[in-house]
Amino acid sequence: MPPADEAAPHHGALTIRTDRLRCALIAAVGIPLGIALILLDPVAERDPVEMLLSLAGGMSLGWGSGALGLLFREPLRFDVRSRRLHVPRSSNWRFTDVYPSPGFDRIEYSPYNARIYQVRADGRRRRLPVFRQYTNRRDWAALADLLLEHSGGAPAQTSPNPHEGRIQLGSCR
C-alpha cells in the first residue's frame, strides 16, 4: 500500500488533492490579518496609506476565505480514458464542471506558466480555474505528466524541492 502522501495510481481516474497544510496556513494568517487591518483602521481622514491598509485587509481576508473554502472542497478528478477534468464548483457543492467545455476540443498543460487550458479546434485557448499553488505537488506533477504525455511534451519536474534549478540571487562583497 503506497504512503498517504503519494499520488494515487492513475489507471482510470487521477485525483488531485488540495494541499491542506498550505491552505490552512493561508487561512490562519489571512483571515485574522484581514479582520485586524479592516477593524483597526482609524476612521479619520482618508489618506492614501489608510486606503492601502484597507485594501490589504480586504485582500488578506479574501485569500484567507478562499483558502478556507478549498479545505472543504472535493478534490479535482482527471478521467484518463476520456481525458476530461472534473472541477467541483466552489459556489454549489453538488455539481462539478467538466472540461473541456462544449466547443472546446481538448485540455492542455502549459509548462511555461504551469496552467491548464482548454483549446478550441482553431487554437484559441481559455484558462481553467485550477491553480497549482493550492494542490498537492505530487498529484499536480502526475496530472501535468499525463497532459504533457498526450501532447508530446517533456515530463513535469517532480522534485520535492521547489527551488531546484532556479537562479539564486545573493549579494556580492
Domain of residue 87: give its range: 13-17+75-151
| Domain end point (choices 34, 49, 71) | 71
CA dihedral (12, 104, 67, 70) positive or negative: negative
Q: Please tell me whether residues 81 and 142 are part of one structural domain.
A: yes
pLDDT attached to residue 160 = 53
Whether residue 83 is contained in a domain is answered as yes
Q: Please tell me whether residues 65 and 96 are part of one structural domain.
A: no
User: Domain count of the chain?
Assistant: 2
C-alpha 63/C-alpha 80 separation (Å) is 32
Q: Please tell me whether residues 83 and 64 are part of one structural domain.
A: no
Q: Please tell me whether residues 57 and 80 are part of one structural domain.
A: no
User: Is the CB of residue 55 less than 8 Å from the CB of residue 38?
Assistant: no
Collect all residues with Cβ–Cβ distance below 8 Å to 77 and sequence separation of at least 6. Answer: 13, 14, 15, 16, 85, 86, 96
Whether residue 36 is contained in a domain is answered as yes
Whether residue 26 is contained in a domain is answered as yes
Q: Percent of the chain at pLDDT above 70?
A: 72
Whether residue 7 is contained in a domain is answered as no
Q: Percent of the chain at pLDDT above 90?
A: 11
All residue ranges of the chain with pLDDT < 50 are 1-9, 154-156, 158-159, 165-166, 168-170, 173
Whether residue 5 is contained in a domain is answered as no
Whether residue 165 is contained in a domain is answered as no
Whether residue 66 is contained in a domain is answered as yes
pTM of the shown model = 0.68
Instruction: Take residue 158 and report the three cell numbers written for it.
Output: 517532480
C-alpha 126/C-alpha 97 separation (Å) is 14
Collect all residues with Cβ–Cβ distance below 8 Å to 5 and sequence separation of at least 6. Answer: 136, 138
